[in-house]
Structure 1
Amino acid sequence: MLLNTLFARPRRMFGAIALISAAMLAFGILYLQNVVGLEPCPMCIVQRYALIIVGVFCAIAACSKSPAAWRLWGLLAVAMSAFGAFTAARQSWLQWNPPPIATCGRDLFGMIESFPLQRAIPMIFKGSGDCSAVDWTFLGGTIANWSFVWFLVFAGAILMALLKLPRGRGGVMPA
């Protein structure tokens, strides 16, 4: 019932994703980082930025009244969700198959300041010892595992809502 209501009203669905993204960021920053004391690794920071961008795109879509705008911002949010899911999947793989030598590499900003971008990006996805560390779990899943699941949920929900939009210019959708 709730899902049908959200999919029938794309602005509400986009708003819900924006709110969930904000809540996840608040949990990660306010609780995990500031209370528990976990410092994010470079891949965690990339996932955090992807989540911020998904939330912003969904918030813009929620404020739009045009189905064309919903399609544009929705597809951009899906693309960013796919990028976030890729990053989370790569980090999950590193956690399941840690490198033989676990060393803490440079942080994300140190990499970007010290190396050209075309060299820093592969270094981020190569991971380091801190990217493969499992510091916190919930129901058997790491932060990267849960991040992967939520990025897929967001992408799937947006695609389902976009597929339910009327085709052509004449269809008007309820807000």
Structure 2
Amino acid sequence: MQSHSYFRGDLLTSRILFAVIFLVCTALLAVAFYMEHVMGLEPCPLCWLQRFAFMAAGLVSLLAWLHGPGTIATRIYGFFLALAAGTGLGLASRQLWLQSLPADQVPACGPSVDYMLEVLPWSEVLATAVRGTGDCAAVVWRFLGLSIPGWSALFFVCVVLVGLYLCLRPAPKRPW
């Protein structure tokens, strides 16, 4: 009986971590939509892709939270969480790099994501979004010295670390 409660407590900790990550991703997406619809900040292609990465991390976390997985499934969910957040970190890093370029090296601004989705095939929209445009290099908002992709990168690092922890932590010791 005691061993069962030990495992349950360990699994509950994983569920709490997944719940927290889900809530953080939901809050970050709410802030992104607030910035877009209330503050009037138009998201660039890389911003859209980072939103999808937060959505993917949030979805993985929601599924894991609802599932209440055992040790092996927790590792699998942790891997996919780290993968989604790692992808987002790569995208945020790309945007930070574009923002660090001198003005004469910034790529040309492109059409809006909505327009590209109407006229271009998915593969070309994705390739253009990942490359980034001049819109992605513009720093339109800062908080405590960090731009939007800087804050995204910070949160993605935290989520990657949690995902790796869940994926790689040692299995709980059985007391027998």
Higher radius of gyration, 1 or 2: 2
Mapped to 2, the partners of 1:68 and 1:7 lie a distance apart of: 11
RMSD of equivalent CA atoms = 2.6
Which residue, 68, 71, 76 being the options, matches 2:75? 71
Which residue, 41, 48, 59 being the options, matches 1:38? 41
Q: Which residue of 1 aligns with 2:95?
A: 91
Q: Which residue of 1 aligns with 2:57?
A: 54
Which residue, 1, 9, 16 being the options, matches 2:13? 9
Q: Which residue of 2 aligns with 1:26?
A: 30
Deviations 1:135-173 (A, max 9, x none): 100111100011011111101012113322417xx969x
TM-score by length of 2: 0.82
| 1:141 partnered with 2:142 | no
Native 8 Å contact 1:89 1:148 kept in 2: yes
Which residue, 148, 158, 161 being the options, matches 1:156? 161
TM-score by length of 1: 0.83
Change beyond 3 A, Cα 1:114–1:130: same
Mapped to 1, the partners of 2:64 and 2:156 lie a distance apart of: 17
Hey, which bits of structure 1, 4+ residues long, moved more than 4 A?
Answer: 5-8
Native 8 Å contact 1:21 1:51 kept in 2: yes
Q: CA deviation at 1:12?
A: 0.3
Ranges in structure 1 where 5+ consecutive residues have no aligned partner:
none
Amino acid at match of 1:38: L
Native 8 Å contact 2:22 2:59 kept in 1: yes
Ranges in structure 2 where 5+ consecutive residues have no aligned partner:
1-8
| 1:104 partnered with 2:109 | yes
Identity fraction in percent: 32
